């Protein structure tokens, strides 16, 4: 794969880390709007020092806003003891300070996750629930695929576009972004 400074990843966060969260762990406002207890954790862990730093991350799709059947939803099902259904599929465009092989970059960003941590879990000092890509299903989008995806998302009212800048490079141990900062619609 070619080396690039502009790489877009479509994450497929379909596996969980930790115990399933039971319905009693959610406050009513968390059940109504999952964004109240949800964060996107961007994690960049290259095998070797590639010399490349992430200088910005633009969230193209938040991964939870419903999109006309095209994307898997991540919602709360109140009729289930373990209420999280589906999986988040955020799309993030990363700008690097120097070119890096796209596949190497995809492999170095794979620990990115969605973290669910309710108020009750915080109070009980319980481990959060993480939706992660354990199987390598996340993929690199071409520039054309990215632009086509943006058009579809804009038509569906699901294009985010929020950008986070890291002039010195994204923090080494990752960067956590509360969903309320960027997610467009409640994931309920």
Structure tokens at 18: 């930790």
Average pLDDT, the chain: 88
Cα–Cα nearest to 7, from 144, 102, 132, 136: 102
**C-beta neighbour count of 70 within 10 angstroms:** 12
Give residues with Cβ within 8 angstroms of 69, minimum separation 6.
none
3-state secondary structure 120-185: HHHHCCCCCEEEECCCCCCEEECHHHHHHHHHHHHHHCCCCCEEEECCCCCCCCCEEEEHHHCCCC
Q: Is 2 left (phi over 0), alpha (psi -120 to 50) or beta?
A: beta
Structure tokens at 78: 């109140």
pLDDT at site 110: 85
Cα–Cα nearest to 50, from 103, 12, 11, 114: 103
pLDDT at 1 over 70: no
Q: Place 154 in a pLDDT band, splitting at 50, 70 and 90.
A: very high
47-67 mean pLDDT: 88
Task: Quote the CA–CA distance of 135 and 10 in Å, as a whole number.
Answer: 14
Give per-residue pLDDT as tens, 82-114: 888 888 999 999 999 999 999 999 999 988 999
């Amino acid at each position: 794969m070619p080396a690039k400074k502009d790489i877009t990843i479509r994450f497929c966060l379909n596996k969980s880390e930790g115990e399933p969260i039971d319905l009693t762990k959610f406050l009513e406002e968390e059940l109504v709007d999952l964004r109240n207890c949800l964060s996107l954790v961007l994690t960049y862990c290259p095998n070797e020092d590639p010399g490349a730093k992430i200088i910005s991350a633009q969230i193209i799709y938040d991964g939870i806003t419903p999109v006309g059947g095209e994307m898997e939803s991540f919602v709360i099902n109140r009729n289930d003891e373990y209420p999280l259904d589906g999986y988040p599929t955020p799309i993030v465009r990363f700008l690097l300070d120097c070119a890096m092989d796209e596949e190497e970059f995809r492999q170095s960003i794979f620990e990115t996750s969605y973290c669910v941590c309710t108020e009750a879990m915080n109070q009980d000092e319980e481990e959060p629930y993480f939706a992660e890509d354990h199987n390598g299903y996340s993929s690199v989008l071409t520039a054309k695929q990215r632009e086509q995806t943006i058009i579809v998302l804009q038509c569906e009212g699901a294009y985010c576009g929020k950008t986070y800048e890291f002039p010195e490079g994204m923090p080494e141990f990752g960067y956590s972004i509360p969903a309320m900062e960027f997610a467009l619609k409640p994931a309920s």
